Amino acid sequence: MANKTVKMGGAVSAGEDNDELIDNLKEAQYIRSDLVEQAFRAIDRADYYLEEFRDSAYKDLAWRHGNIHLSAPCIYSEVMEALDLQPGLSFLNLGSGTGYLSTMVGLILGPFGVNHGVELHQDVIEYAYQKLEFFIKTSDSFDRFEFCEPCFVIGNCLEIAPESGQYDRVYCGAGVQREQEDYMKNLLKVGGILVLPLEEKLTKITRTGYNSWETKKIIAVSFAPLVLPKHRDNSKPKAVPLPTMFEVRTLQDLARISIRLTLKKTVAGPGPLPRRRLAHSGERFRRRRVQHRGSTLLSNRYVFMSRLIPGPMDNNNNRSGTDTEEEQEDEEVEEEGNCRVLGDPEEQEEEERREGGALLHEAPVNLLRERILGLPLPELLKMYLLHYREK
């Protein structure tokens, strides 16, 4: 990967949706690990665009509107892979922007991680919190992971208070010059990893000891430089205080985490599901259907798992016949799906035209939510377990 040059993105083909964009990033070896792939699939990049620009969300290009900025998907892929994220680590995002990267990181860090961001512009922080709230309230991915919610503070990342703690992982989203390198390194714990664009190269720096480092150049990039602090004559620099590194969790909060993890083990399949795809006519989409046939089978597996949740009984304590009817319907759907993959291409194309963009398979059910709602508990306690999410 060291010989790649990526300046403004465009390293991979555009996708029709978030999943196809991730497929392209995987094929080009920008996404190489399952953990990073799951995080990218869990969050739709288009959700972080302004509505009038959503059509450009699945292109491998950077996007900027005023102070709002997103790097190209191939850049974020390399950053996520280089950070080598694990549950429970602490992460600092310098120039946190829309919060897109911080939210993906939070899915991996889990409930006992630390997820902080520093952003220069107040309007961007407000935008990031709006997007974070939208994700928490509406995305089923929130229930497929245990989330480390990011916390953003306003300020210049070159003015972080000296007494602030050090982090396991640090990313800087603006161009860093050689004279700023030591400042960035000092934000790291021993054993920590710093990823930053250093003199036009995306660089990974690992702190191997108190005064020892390993440096690896990843790809050539072009980032806007860090904004230098502005001080009036004889004025004292205003230090940026970071949030508390570790907070004592309440027993109530710990109980919720434990209950949700226990329930997930009873309903969860092998991992987070990919997002649903839309059917489109034409030879290009028929190839995609063959490649992603496993997604349909995975969806059927989740439907099967939902039957482990007890259903209503009749007067003789027998299960109702609903499951049998559902099994027959699922078998018919699976047979139909196989015919679409293996059948005559002309018949497929004609069928797709008649459907006019019908779903390739149904959206997966949020099994954790359904399980919690089915518990014999007071409604207020159920909502607490669901983080008061209405959807």
Helix and strand counts by DSSP (H, E) for the chain:
14, 9
Q: Which of 71, 77, 90, 299 is catalytic?
A: 71
Helix (H) or strand (E) holding 128: helix 122-138
- Say which residues have a Cβ less than 8 Å from residue 233's Cβ, sequence separation at least 6: none
Q: Which tokens sit at 365?
A: 């059910």
Q: How far is 147 from 334, CA to CA, in rounded Å?
A: 33
Residue from 97, 78, 222, 234 nearest 152 by CA: 97
172-to-133, 176, 190, 204 alpha-carbon distances in Å: 24, 8, 18, 11
DSSP state of 185: H
8 A C-beta contact, residue 56 and residue 48: no
End-to-end CA distance of the chain: 42
DSSP state of 307: T
Is there a catalytic annotation at residue 141?
no
The single residue listed with the structure tokens 């939208």 is 134
- Say which residues have a Cβ less than 8 Å from residue 54's Cβ, sequence separation at least 6: 46
Residue from 62, 81, 335, 45 nearest 224 by CA: 62
Please list the residues that pair with 92 across neighbouring strands: 116, 170
357-to-38, 53, 138, 361 alpha-carbon distances in Å: 26, 22, 23, 12
Q: How far is 57 from 52, CA to CA, in rounded Å?
A: 11
Helix (H) or strand (E) holding 63: strand 63-65
Residues recognised as catalytic: 71
